[in-house]
Amino acid sequence: MNPLVALFRQADDVLRRGSSLARAQHRGWASSLGNSVLLILAFGMFYGGLMGTYGGVGGERIWQVVYSGVKVPLLLLATFVLSLPSFFVLNTLLGLRGDFARVVASLLATQAGLTVILASLAPVTAFWYVSGSGYQQAILFNGLMFAVASILAVPESPGRAGA
């Protein structure tokens, strides 16, 4: 299978919530974690690269695109790893240590969903850049895109589905 098609199928699984997590129990948590990290890297680099195109891509500006493309997945994965020890302690204190592997897989799947949603907002961001906004407005707009993606990536609880 084409690797790009496989990547988009994984993204589809994450966005449909549950199908990838249900399959993760059958094929092992390590595979699910690897798929989530791959999605965070691929789609995060895509949106980050687009963020770096604000001032154009000619000449030395191409390095800004590369730098921004690396920065977004690094931001998401580094904050996840930094918060994991305190989250583990909290789970242990609450007596939920046995579910920790499943919770980590779910959190990484949510982060992967966030980056896929963020990448889907890339055309809106590109349109904002082309419309001639200032640099400070572009920074605020990217913050808004991260906020929108964060809100949309939070899975809906089963109790709220009919509400």
Instruction: Give the model confidence (pLDDT) of 27-81 as tens digits.
Output: 565 677 888 899 999 999 999 999 999 988 778 889 999 999 999 999 999 999 9
Is residue 51 situated within a structural domain? yes
Domain limits for position 31 = 3-154
Is residue 159 situated within a structural domain? no
Work out how many domains the chain is built from and give that number: 1
Is residue 56 situated within a structural domain? yes
Q: With pLDDT > 70 as the criterion, what percentage of the chain qualifies?
A: 86
CA dihedral 116, 121, 125, 127 (to 10 degrees): 140
Determine contact, residues 48/73, Cβ cutoff 8 Å.
yes
Alpha helices, H only, 28-121: 29-51, 62-93, 100-120
Determine contact, residues 100/88, Cβ cutoff 8 Å.
yes
Is residue 163 situated within a structural domain? no
Q: What is the DSSP letter of 99?
A: G
Residue partners of 121: CB distance under 8 A and separation at least 6: 47, 145, 148, 149
Is residue 162 situated within a structural domain? no
Is residue 134 situated within a structural domain? yes
Is residue 62 situated within a structural domain? yes
Determine contact, residues 110/32, Cβ cutoff 8 Å.
no
Instruction: Give the model confidence (pLDDT) of 74-113 as tens digits.
Output: 999 999 999 999 999 999 999 988 888 888 888 898 899 9
Q: Is the pLDDT of residue 158 over 70?
A: no
Is residue 143 situated within a structural domain? yes
